[in-house]
Structure 1
């Protein structure tokens, strides 16, 4: 499998100009190289290679354009003060990619080979890893269906790619609290749908609600379950946590919530700290009741892009819930400092989460 396939490497002859690492947006500029690998029915995944970053050519009838058969991942690389290059739990990303592949009827990739390709790519483009506080190299592995065919059935051809982008904060607010509107009209997905997979359709389905929330001055929407519009699920780009009367609560995975890797890491961290934490079904009414009683102490989101994002305001049913006076709470700050500290090598990693990238 992975160990037996040689990754072909073609170096670029024209290196790009680097952006100002002190003034990075998110996902707007891309590094010099990309990883590509193709799949054909009967042949399987083949020809893994690293090539200069470039456009790809696809047939207009490619399945991805018409039926949305695609999956993706997101992770980051960091450079430490002592010049080490670290990845945060990358094996979990490729495990989840294959889980998404299952749901979208896409052939499994060799996780070991994918990780090997990723490490080689990061090593080659390591001078794109920014070292300014709060920055990182965002990594986007993804698979698209490429068979030219107008018919609703799984593709027989696929392309797996990894591209990378030096990034700053996902939200313009950075670690400052964001304002989030609770969505009551639209549904992103439902139990039994594709909510547990990282697939483009989930995000396309979220855009309208996000656009409306943005017009009202809110950064994101908090999705409720698609059936009853009662139970909290997740934010468009993050899982969500509530600290209620000393206990941290996050919605349990129910078939329509993405199993976040940062979410999993926070649950481990809180248990390690002996902070009361539970995964369970939680209604928006319970959240509002806790707020009215003065028991809603902190709210924060978690995800690869934002890492930890404190929530300073929730809008629901025309009611504004101002959390912790609109300020970042102590526990949220502690989690952010610990997770990012482990990611960038500033503090000890007791969980064996980080993987150092080294030259072969």
Structure 2
């Protein structure tokens, strides 16, 4: 059987599918069994996108191939110096069964910003979106119909030179893999407990905290171990300078619901260059306006959080991200003790916003923002 191709717009990159004549990795029954309760990042689909970049040829060797291990030289730059960026976004089923990507172009623009920060080549947003569409189209059988699940897409670009010279690489590899997932904390998870320690920081001014860079994540593992030692599921990150201001929760943006003048006001830390500009964060800020919920981007300190919970000003706190959607925070633990941050169950504002977000993602309501991309 001859390979089939799907043409990407804008630059005309073509993704050649060389796998259609090959045996499938799993039958439909095996796929259902293997994704019955998938741990995050384990139920990977059968194919992946692959492309290469060089100064002479630009993006080339673009194809859809069976999911398989990579062959890398031990001197590959990305392995030694961390020149690697990634994204994370989801595909959902509309009520009519058509798969849709959620805010793919926005993730493509952030992917470009991340690449630029690490002196890597840009991938056109249209090509980025078309690559995702090509993979979803090829592995459409893996896109769940259940509301509690989705198909998570992981685009990745890394330096591919086999050289230990301390400089930007000359060649790069682009990949996209996908896996079936529930919410990051599980489909029935309630409010999480969080550890607000001061030993470690996530990001500093002038660093890479505002991009999707692999090196932002491994340094958080020790803090996550501390959290587990204090019976917490996640870490609340404080600013690098004063260890005072709340910035993020794990790899997620954080929101507070405050009572001001007899009404709820949604508050989130401003983007100062150390926080990741989350696409889910931006979606919540947009959707909240349609729900008549005022928003404010302003700093919140850890002590303010504690005191305003005690006084009844802060009534809810939750984190948001592509993997976790919206996750309520139930308790904050610090070196000096801790405090309850909620009533032990998701708050009403968090619930309203989550319902509004999921409805747009799954095509249950109109999409006035142009966030959904149908894959046909």
Bin the TM-score by the shorter chain: over 0.9
Q: 1:321 aligned to 2:339?
A: yes
Structure 1: unaligned runs, 5 residues or longer: none
Moved over 3 A (4+): 172-175
**In the comparison of the two structures, how many residue pairs are matched?**
358
**Structure 1 residue 207: Cα displacement:** 0.8
Match of residue 363 from structure 2: 345
Asked if residue 14 in structure 1 is aligned to residue 23 in structure 2, the reply is: yes
Single out whichever of 143-152 and 174-183 deviates more from structure 2.
174-183
Shift of 1:43: 2.3
Q: 1:225-304 alignment to 2 at 5 Å?
A: 225-245=239-259, 246-304=264-322
CA distance in 2, matches of 1:357, 1:94: 16
Retained in 2: the 8 A contact 1:247–1:276? yes
| Distance of aligned partners of 1:208 and 1:139 in 2 relative to their CA distance in 1, 3 Å threshold | same
Residues 105-120 of structure 1: pairs in structure 2 closer than 5 A = 105-120=119-134
* Equivalent residues of 2:197, 2:335 under 8 A apart: no
Aligned twin of 1:143 = 157
Distance in 2, matches of 1:293 and 1:237, equals: 29
Q: Distance in 1 between matches of 2:188 and 2:236?
A: 19
CA contact (8 A) 2:183 2:325 kept: no
Other-structure match for 1:169: 183
Structure 1 partner of 2:353:
335
**Partners of 2:75 and 2:180 in 1: CA distance:** 33
What does residue 82 of structure 2 align with? 68
- Is 1:33 the counterpart of 2:52? The answer is no
Q: Distance in 2 between the 1:354 and 1:183 partners? A: 38
Asked if the contact 1:2–1:112 (Cα under 8 Å) also holds between the matched residues in 2, the reply is yes
Q: Is the 8 Å Cα contact of residues 140 and 164 (structure 1) preserved in structure 2?
A: yes
- 1:108–1:39 Cα change, 3 Å: same
The offset of 1:3, in angstroms, is: 4.0
TM-score (norm 2): 0.92
Matched ranges for 1:77-156 at <5 A: 77-156=91-170
Conserved in 2, the CA contact under 8 Å of 1:22 and 1:132? no
SS of residue paired to 2:14: coil
**1:253-277 CA-partner distances (Å, limit 9, x unpaired):** 0111000000000001112222121
| Equivalent position of 2:6 in the other structure | none
Question: Where do 5+ consecutive residues of structure 2 fail to align?
Answer: 1-8
1:179 equivalent among 193, 203, 227 = 193
Report how far residue 329 of structure 1 moved: 0.4
Equivalent position of 1:357 in the other structure = 375
Cα shift at 1:87: 1.0
Q: For residue 325 of structure 1, give the secondary structure of its aligned residue in structure 2.
A: coil
RMSD between aligned residues: 1.5
Q: Distance in 2 between matches of 1:109 and 1:265?
A: 24
- Alignment partner of 1:71: what SS? strand
Alignment check: 8 A CA contact 1:8 1:47 kept? no
User: Take 1:352 and 1:135, find their aligned partners in 2: how far apart are those partners?
Assistant: 22
* Alpha-carbon separation, structure 1, partners of 2:10 and 2:367: 28
Cα distance in 1 for partners of 2:297, 2:234 equals: 22
User: Is contact 2:45–2:139 with CA below 8 Å preserved after alignment?
Assistant: yes
Determine which of 207, 211, 231 is the counterpart of 1:197.
211
Measure the CA separation in 2 of the matches of 1:152 and 1:218: 39
Superposition TM-score, scaled by structure 1 size: 0.96
Secondary structure of the residue aligned to 1:290 is helix
Q: CA deviation at 1:175?
A: 4.7
d(CA) in 2 for partners of 1:153 and 1:19? 46
